[in-house]
Amino acid sequence: MVKNIRTIFLSQMLMNLLFPFIISTLAIFLFYTYFLVIQKYKNNFDLLWMDIPKQNRQLYVFFQLLALIGGTILIIFWLMSPPNKGLMSSSYIRNMTFVILLISAITWSIGMLYYPSKLSHILVILGLILTALSSIALLAGALEDRPNKSSRDSWLWLQTLAAILLSIVTVLLDGVGWLANYILKL
């Protein structure tokens, strides 16, 4: 029994050490794939935006910047002070949700690199749906967390705001708005 406890403790410690590296690597790769997508569509942004009107794009980009800030804050906040209640209090679930979120976003951008093809349609749609579902799980985790009489209690609002900012883009603007325009073009 002591050996099992030690094994669990060591695997948990290893996961906590690897998680920042894995997330950082995936985030860098995500930005790289976004760069490739922007390069591919630099002469035809209307196609990348699925003909969404330019006025809406400006608002969209504003919220994308807020989502980037929100996602970054959420990751850092939960690395320093993980939730103590709810879905995201499990480090395994929390870590895997972030990994799925980033891999799904990468899947979207790879799909856009191969657009238009049958494979690209699958990658784009699957990527956006999984990104949205991951964001919903993160938002649920932020809302389920509770004060625990520590210094982090006064900052719980920040994790909620961060998850909301991320979800506005990944669920509503990408998962509903952009995806609806993408499907309309199929």
pLDDT given for residue 92 in this prediction: 86
Residue of higher predicted confidence among 83 and 8 = 83
Whole-number mean pLDDT of the chain?
93
Nearest to 110 by CA among 22, 40, 182: 40
Question: In sequence order, what are the residues at sequence separation of 6 or more whose Cβ sits closer than 8 angstroms to the Cβ of residue 118?
Answer: none
Average pLDDT estimate for 83-101: 94
The DSSP code for 147 is -
DSSP state string for 107-128? HHHHHHHT-SSHHHHHHHHHHH
CB-based burial label for 48 (10 Å; 0-12, 13-18, 19+): middle
Q: Is the dihedral of CA 138, 130, 106, 45 positive or negative?
A: negative
pLDDT > 80? residue 23: yes
> How many helices (H) and strands (E) would you count in the chain?
7, 0
| pTM of the complete model | 0.91
Phi, psi at residue 120, to the nearest 5°? -65, -40
**Domain edges within the chain:** 18-185
High-pLDDT (> 70) share of the chain, %:
93
Average pLDDT estimate for 168-185: 96
The token pair at 168 is 């506005």
Average pLDDT estimate for 86-115: 96
Would you call 44 helix, strand, or coil by DSSP? coil
pLDDT given for residue 28 in this prediction: 97
pLDDT digits 0-9 by tens, 29-77: 999 999 999 999 999 999 999 999 999 999 999 999 999 999 999 999 9
Identify whether the C-beta of residue 60 lies closer than 8 Å to the C-beta of residue 173: yes
Average pLDDT estimate for 89-99: 93
At 153, the amino acid letter reads D
pLDDT > 60? residue 184: yes
